[in-house]
Structure 1
């Protein structure tokens, strides 16, 4: 298939474009910044550009271009609306106009994080699957992604289009921009317990969704490494996560101590990706067990970490 990939110069795009080509697709990359996988430099907010690109033989769109949470400090709210909402609308309209039967939209678990979730205001860990709702998103990133998801559902209904909404957990390479209590690598390793996936897995999920969303209608999927917990652990995780981890991974504490890392004392939320496995047959290959295996065997960590990373658009 000839595909339009937005955000082709971004962090996800650099993994997704090669995987799509490896699956036999022709990829046209669109991004506001130049890049190895970007053939067209421009914005999804440019309706005429999007219309012309899609009309030129494109058979399906993977929309991964967006302004993200760290961009809140760099861009006004209007820029989020232009890119995340208007840009999504432009792409959906072009897809419908050209008779596309599927559309892949990169969303975020961030829109599920209300102020109460952010404040860890519960006596047990929040178990967060696609049905989870605890109030509106806490920032403009989540608000615009929620609006874009609504547009996807509307177009799926109006145009009989199969749409996969992929709410990805964390896979960025840079350090957390709000919490520096642990080293970046230590925090990322911990997050594979409940809220992170590798960039390679995030990209692979898009390829699988493109291949398997046909006939499913509009479906939302939470994407994260499979958690080594069950819902029955939720109360204990909020009080003594280390005890739960020790039962699953008896040598985790020693492996962490050898690296001067710390396991989380509590876990306040767990992302549940089981729907993607049940409906799409997709399961992340990198997990917390993979992280411990790398520590145990002296191998490179199975995730990317680059504290100095900045999106290419910041240099454009």
Structure 2
């Protein structure tokens, strides 16, 4: 399958690329070239907000995966930058889906986040949530991701596209699993834990790639799936098991 990955040079994109490149033809649209990308991955320099570059990148594509996210603030580190969060997480999603429709691309995948849910007063790892629960995050990142999902729902309904939303939690390289690595925030991988001290397993990169592989093949309107490695938690992944045939191998 021919995939355009928007924002494929970022942290999450770098986790997905090795697992996807073996079975698909991957084109990455990103201002920066992906570091250490597998052989055969093609880089298109630019932004989804540049309509000309985006249209060219979509030529001959079967499915588009939007994996971009707004950068961290230089002033209020490590919190997300307000303007960039909405520009990348909302506006570029809208632009990507509108351009995909014009290009005749009928399938899209949004890399979203379980951060659409508030991390307090009960910590996210300890909440009981499935896809039927209404998102309630009010922080910049969470709100921008909530809006991105709404853009996807609208596109599916208005354009007749198949749009699959994957809400990730704590994606990490296989080599450091079950800990969570986020280099722009933590100098070393950290262990996410439940309130009672038990470890909450992060989402291994190979499991993430398997979820995206299943999502790009899905056909049929708008659907949301929770994708994480936290076995024994109240964050159900049952819908992904039934709807995508996906189960985390790690954990």
Is the pair's TM-score, using the shorter chain for normalization, greater than 0.5?
yes
How big is each residue's C-alpha offset from its partner over 1:2-39, in whole Å with a ceiling of 9 and x where there is no partner?
2111222222222322322211x211111222224361
- State yes or no: 1:275 paired with 2:239: yes
- The change in CA–CA distance for 1:96 and 1:197 in structure 2 (over 3 A counts) is same
- State yes or no: 1:112 paired with 2:114: no
Report how far residue 107 of structure 1 moved.
0.3
Give SS of 2:157's match. helix
- The residue that corresponds to 1:191 in the other structure is 200
Alpha carbons 1:226, 1:283 under 8 Å: kept: no
Alpha carbons 1:165, 1:219 under 8 Å: kept: yes
- State yes or no: 1:63 paired with 2:66: yes
Which structure's CA Rg is the greater one?
A: 1
Report how far residue 68 of structure 1 moved.
6.0
Distance between the aligned counterparts of 1:58 and 1:176, measured in 2? 31
Distance between the aligned counterparts of 1:146 and 1:134, measured in 2? 7
Give SS of 2:110's match. strand
Report how far residue 185 of structure 1 moved.
4.1
**Structure 1 alignment gaps of length 5 or more:** 230-269, 288-316
- The residue that corresponds to 1:174 in the other structure is 182
Aligned residues: 231
Root-mean-square deviation (CA, aligned residues, Å) is 2.8
- The change in CA–CA distance for 1:17 and 1:177 in structure 2 (over 3 A counts) is closer
- The residue that corresponds to 1:130 in the other structure is 131
After TM superposition, the score normalised by the length of structure 2 is: 0.81
- The residue that corresponds to 1:307 in the other structure is none
Report how far residue 41 of structure 1 moved.
2.1
Report how far residue 67 of structure 1 moved.
1.9
Give SS of 1:151's match. helix
Give SS of 2:199's match. helix
Distance between the aligned counterparts of 2:131 and 2:192, measured in 1? 25
Query: 2:229 pairs with 211, 214, 225, which one?
Result: 225
- The residue that corresponds to 1:48 in the other structure is 52
After TM superposition, the score normalised by the length of structure 1 is: 0.66
Alpha carbons 1:165, 1:221 under 8 Å: kept: yes
Alpha carbons 2:67, 2:110 under 8 Å: kept: yes
- The residue that corresponds to 1:201 in the other structure is 207
- The residue that corresponds to 1:20 in the other structure is 20
Higher helix proportion (structure 1 or 2): 1
Alpha carbons 1:103, 1:162 under 8 Å: kept: yes
Distance between the aligned counterparts of 2:182 and 2:127, measured in 1? 25
Give SS of 1:282's match. coil
Distance between the aligned counterparts of 2:183 and 2:28, measured in 1? 27
Give SS of 2:170's match. coil
